[in-house]
Structure 1
Amino acid sequence: MKPAKVDQFDLVVVGAGIVGTMTAFLATDRRPDARVLLVDQGLVGNGASAFSAGFDVPLVGSEDHREFVRRGTAIYGELRESMPDLPVRQLDVFAVVDAGRVAALEKRVEGTELRPATDDESTLVRENYPDLVVSDEQTLLRMTAGGYCGSVRTVAERLVAVSRKSTGFASWAGMRVAGVFGRDETTMLRFGGGIEVAADQVVFATGPWIADGCAGITNTGIRVKKVAALHIERRPRPDAPALLFPDEDAFLLPLQAEGRWLFSFASREWDVRPREEELTIDDDDRRRAFETLHRYAPSFARAVRGGRVWCDGYSVDRVPLIRRVTDHPRVVLAGGCSGSGFRLAPAIAEKALELSGAPAMPNTATPDTAMTNTSDQGSPE
């Protein structure tokens, strides 16, 4: 049998979620003649990107994290100008916060200010959350710059559609990487059916699958955490704002296109496998979610009908993991989004390209100077 032809690429991006599609898009946008392959075991925008609420609110966890948020916001701003049809919309954002914790929250915002809601703004919130409970010890704050919300899967599909205009771009679906090995100054990727490709540089952006021994790559320092949200079957008004509950690590988000609200809350289940059929919203999830809903918006709790559950990879310090693979120096891992893949994707993609030395970017970053998280050990808790 004649050996199968080995396709050669400047860059192969493994994983077609929001981080992978953003990486491929930036590579082709900045050098249209680059030979770029985007490959995924499923379809574009599947996995965590298919379930994500796509809510971008400018809160940070550390100064390193702040740099990712700042750069991600800037790139999204550029994309909205160049692609007016990008399915990302702006919305008002308010927060219910204990008065004694306002100062701490103010230190976590980036590119916006927190201030008490005006009378008119409080009326807007009350009209959309008619039975909202704000105690005497709490205050209703507004984020002056608001936030953004979009269909993550649709954004990923749009990025791929634009990338296809570059002659060197290719996207393969239903292709799972079975092995990674080196050969003659290049990195070889082996797929099922004996298909192999050669790449000058490779970026693995496989979301929670990074921690699942993808293609034999282990010891990433990433843990996988369940992410859950409830659906509230009440149609939001066009002007409905999002409402944050920072002390409970939860939020209510109007999804006008779906005709419902989404209530996101923090699950406590760690070290799950990225298998949709194994993930459920369990009794503990419901108990804690309903405690928060009944405390702040009882009528919303009564309108809960189902929800969604998925998972994501979390780094030790919530700063995205971007580093080379020790055994494969031309392979860069890009992940550990810690539930914030949508808003951090542009910065993660940009830094992954810089670190890889991919042809789309000047190789100005080094493992010592790049905005990366190189930790291999520890717990995110």
Structure 2
Amino acid sequence: MPDPNTAIPHYDLAVVGSGIVGALTAHHAVRRNPGLRVLVLTHASRGTGATRLSAGFDTPTGHSAAQRALAARSTALFAELAAELPDVQREPVDTYWLVGRATAAALHTSMADGGRTSAVDRDGRQLLTETFPGLAHGDDEVVRASAPMTVGRPQALADQLLDRVLSRPGSALLEGFRVTAVRRAGGHIELVAADGSRVTADKAVVAPGPWALDGPVARAARDRGARVKKVVAFHIMSPPPPHAPALVFEDADAFLLPHHPGGHWIFSVTSPDWDRGPDEPLAIDARDRSLARALLERHVPGFLPHLLGGRVFSDCFTPGHLPIVDTVDDDDVVMAIGGSGSGYRLAPAMAEDALNLLYGGTRS
């Protein structure tokens, strides 16, 4: 047990979670106020959550006005970040969309930047044929082209941002500090760990990623309809050509993304497994593989022999796939949860909203 005579460390801002949302929150906080003392807390070590396994595919789209606004704002904030930090890795990738003819018009309106898709030209058709062996679709489906999307390196970015925060005097990272309670105590916000350790701060942002339902904001998250589910991304062990495009299966909520550092493709599919938390044993199972095989058999059968392992993790999903950024029981405590599989691309706006609530009282 902690020594009751030991002084409790105090900070200006505590950020629970060291993933991309937490890292951006901490970074934006010290950028706004360089003298701020920021403490980042994580239940394990840096790089153990969903951010480490994220594909980093940023498609600024949304099926509601609120989603599109968040995506557009995040894209703008990413551009600002890239201008400030030249080492931020965000590469353009040509992107094509396989979509039902009946829903193609809805794809246009989902583009957050007001862009539209277009018919695939001759060069595009040749590129698709050469890249995706056996590419096929039904008469009721069509392939459309859009402006290039971007691919980032979420864990590398989170590490870079945290290193910048930690380089400032008075800021710190606590690993292995599993926060179980965040509460008002003695005029401050007290954060209590599973082993009874405590720290205090003037304000706190709780950004626990897939651990949203197992920690200090669990009740508030459940009250707002948050759930966790398994996320699966297979590896297609076939080297992508140097300028390989991405192919989005819009109606199936799946995509094929070239992953040049690994020499393979990432094939993200929508797993049917809900209520699977990050601390449970997670593995790609027969249902996941059957779903992936069915999509490939229908659209890219030449990739079937290369469908092997992959990555599996959990994420927190919210109603309408809209992140929840809101105060929790106290105006000085804000939760930022619910990436819904898009945590990386929505993280800048989530971080900005959390800080605006804490220090400005409103969302931007």
Cross-structure match for 2:259: 255
Residue deviations 1:122-149, cap 9 Å, x none?
22222211321133332221112x1111
Cross-structure match for 1:333: 335
State whether residues 71 and 112 of structure 2, in contact with CA within 8 Å, keep that contact through their aligned partners in structure 1.
yes
1:117 correspondence with 2:120: yes
Quick one: structure 1 residues 192 and 319, their matched pair in 2 at CA, closer, same or farther if it must change by over 3 Å? Answer: closer
1:229 correspondence with 2:233: yes
State the secondary structure of the residue aligned to 2:55. coil
Count of matched residue positions in the alignment of Structure 1 and Structure 2: 358
State whether residues 7 and 197 of structure 1, in contact with CA within 8 Å, keep that contact through their aligned partners in structure 2.
yes
State whether residues 313 and 336 of structure 1, in contact with CA within 8 Å, keep that contact through their aligned partners in structure 2.
yes
State whether residues 44 and 156 of structure 1, in contact with CA within 8 Å, keep that contact through their aligned partners in structure 2.
no
State whether residues 220 and 328 of structure 2, in contact with CA within 8 Å, keep that contact through their aligned partners in structure 1.
no
Residue deviations 1:309-329, cap 9 Å, x none?
111111112110011112x44
State the secondary structure of the residue aligned to 1:211. coil
Matches within 5 A, 1:234-249: 234-249=238-253
Cross-structure match for 2:176: 174
Q: CA deviation at 1:262?
A: 0.8
1:34 correspondence with 2:40: no
State whether residues 206 and 217 of structure 2, in contact with CA within 8 Å, keep that contact through their aligned partners in structure 1.
no
- Indicate the percent of aligned positions where both proteins have the same amino acid: 37
If the length of structure 2 is used for normalisation, what is the TM-score?
0.94
State whether residues 61 and 108 of structure 1, in contact with CA within 8 Å, keep that contact through their aligned partners in structure 2.
yes
Q: Unaligned stretches of 5+ in structure 2?
A: none
State whether residues 254 and 269 of structure 2, in contact with CA within 8 Å, keep that contact through their aligned partners in structure 1.
yes
Residue deviations 1:27-76, cap 9 Å, x none?
01121110111110122232111111111012202111111101100000
Quick one: structure 1 residues 281 and 2, their matched pair in 2 at CA, closer, same or farther if it must change by over 3 Å? Answer: closer
Residue deviations 1:188-217, cap 9 Å, x none?
1123555321111111000121112x0374
Q: Counterparts of 2:68 and 2:180 in 1: how far apart (Å)?
A: 36
State whether residues 120 and 143 of structure 2, in contact with CA within 8 Å, keep that contact through their aligned partners in structure 1.
yes
Q: CA deviation at 1:258?
A: 0.6
Cross-structure match for 2:130: 127
**Stretch of structure 1 that moved more, 66-75 or 194-203:** 194-203
Q: Unaligned stretches of 5+ in structure 1?
A: 358-362, 372-381
Equivalent residue in structure 2 for 1:20, among 8, 19, 22: 22
Residue deviations 1:252-281, cap 9 Å, x none?
000001110011111111111222x51121
State the secondary structure of the residue aligned to 1:135. coil
Q: Counterparts of 1:250 and 1:318 in 2: how far apart (Å)?
A: 16
Q: CA deviation at 1:9?
A: 1.0
1:311 correspondence with 2:314: yes
State whether residues 12 and 36 of structure 2, in contact with CA within 8 Å, keep that contact through their aligned partners in structure 1.
yes
Q: CA deviation at 1:306?
A: 0.7
Matches within 5 A, 1:87-166: 87-111=89-113, 112-144=115-147, 146-166=148-168
Counterpart code for 1:321? I
Cross-structure match for 1:215: 216
**Stretch of structure 1 that moved more, 117-126 or 199-208:** 117-126
Q: CA deviation at 1:364?
A: 4.9
State the secondary structure of the residue aligned to 2:319. coil
If the length of structure 1 is used for normalisation, what is the TM-score?
0.90
Q: CA deviation at 1:184?
A: 2.2
Q: CA deviation at 1:234?
A: 0.5
State whether residues 131 and 297 of structure 1, in contact with CA within 8 Å, keep that contact through their aligned partners in structure 2.
yes
1:67 correspondence with 2:69: yes
